[in-house]
A = this chain, B = another copy of it.
Amino acid sequence: MKLYFNKIGSLETVTIKDIAKVLNLSTSTVSRALRGSYEINAETKRLVMEYAEKVNYSPNPIALSLKENKSRAIGVIVPEIANHFFSQAINGIEDVANKRGYHVVIFQSHESYQREVINIQHIIARKVDGLLISLSGQTNDVIHLQEIQQKKLPFVLFDRVSDKIEAHKVVADNFDGAFKATEHLILSGRRRIAHIASPSLLSITKERLAGYKAALEKYSILYDESLVKYCGFGAEEVKKLVGDLLENQKPDAIFTTSDRLALDCFSEIKEQGILIPEQLSFIGFTNLKVAHLLAPSLSTVVQPAFEIGQTAAELLLDSIERKSQNIEQFRTIKIPTEMVVRKSSVFN
């Protein structure tokens, strides 16, 4: 025996069956009436609609998912939401997804390959319609991505992509951003420009390094490997590497490649009592909201995180909705970066 307390908000949510019973109709008729099917009498439709409205009927998305084998939800896997780039990208994703009637389910890999794989399994079991992924710093192989592809589940890589797999990709123009930053340092008179980079596995690392090298080459500065350091995500590790670098290589400028690195590096430099920008120019590849409040204010190359998220989501949803046609070309979309010069890199 079921209980209904509809006057005070339903204890049990009302289903199509409940409506059918009350109106003495079959569930099929109610269903069709609600979807405005042509084969239902106008009067019946009105009755059903009105009653549904009155009892605040809303279809059970779980039942629909089961029936249709899709969920109108997309999964997002990012290394860390406590990172402005990713939280802004997620905002971009949600913006697009919500407009197109999809939900967004967020997962974090916390820079762990293992968690990335587990997340993907979970997310697939949950029957999302598609996936947006930014790879963890530990991710080296792409077998988990290949599995997704074999399951014909649409996905788009963004920001942290891999060149070991063919897929839709949305990235910032890392090469150009790094090139501009390096060129800026060179033009302001620096020559010994160090580059603090993310783990070498990441695509962003390679592209930014390439931009850095290209700028050096353009101005005929020899590439010096000892000025480039790859760092993981531990603060201590970064500080040690940077400490060594400062002591042994005496760079006159540093170009870092991410929020985390910029901050840890920045604080190590200050702890060593080295003056920015007088003794050392500094520019970061970051999305920090507080860049202008640091002392000195931090020059940065900014990635349009929100736009990257939007673009990736658009691409994914197009792919999902076009899925049946099947034959589709993988696309890589590159979004321009912007350089903001502040005090940390201007010393004259």
Binding site for B on A (CB under 8 A): 5, 8-11, 13, 58, 60-63, 65-66, 71, 81-82, 84, 87-88, 90-91, 94, 103, 105-106, 108, 121-122, 125-127, 147, 150-152, 263, 266-267, 270, 288-290, 292-296
**Which of B5, B11, B62, B88 is within 8 Å of A62, CB to CB?**
B62
Residue of B nearest to A59 (CB): B125
Known contacts A288-B290, A290-B290; is-contact A147 B63 (Cβ 8 Å): no
* CA distance in complex: A289, B63 (Å): 43
Cβ of A194 to closest chain B Cβ, rounded Å: 19
Copies of this protein, total? 2
Could you jot down 9 A-B contacts, CB within 8 Å? Answer: A8-B150, A10-B151, A61-B126, A66-B66, A81-B87, A91-B108, A105-B105, A267-B292, A267-B293
Residue of B nearest to A5 (CB): B150
Cβ of A136 to closest chain B Cβ, rounded Å: 15
* CA distance in complex: A127, B71 (Å): 13
Q: B292 touching A295 by the CB < 8 A rule?
A: no
- By a CB distance below 8 angstroms, the chain B residues around A82 are 84, 87-88, 91
Cβ of A106 to closest chain B Cβ, rounded Å: 5
Known contacts A151-B10, A290-B290, A293-B267; is-contact A125 B87 (Cβ 8 Å): no
Cβ of A27 to closest chain B Cβ, rounded Å: 16
Q: Which 8 A-B pairs have the closest CB atoms?
A: A295-B295, A82-B87, A9-B150, A62-B65, A81-B87, A62-B66, A106-B106, A9-B147
* CA distance in complex: A94, B127 (Å): 20
**Which of B94, B126, B151, B266 is within 8 Å of A9, CB to CB?**
B151
Cβ of A142 to closest chain B Cβ, rounded Å: 14
**Sample of 20 further A-B pairs with CB below 8 A, known A60-B66, A81-B87:** A5-B150, A8-B150, A9-B147, A11-B152, A58-B125, A60-B125, A60-B127, A61-B126, A62-B62, A62-B127, A63-B66, A82-B84, A82-B87, A82-B88, A94-B108, A103-B126, A270-B293, A288-B290, A290-B290, A295-B296
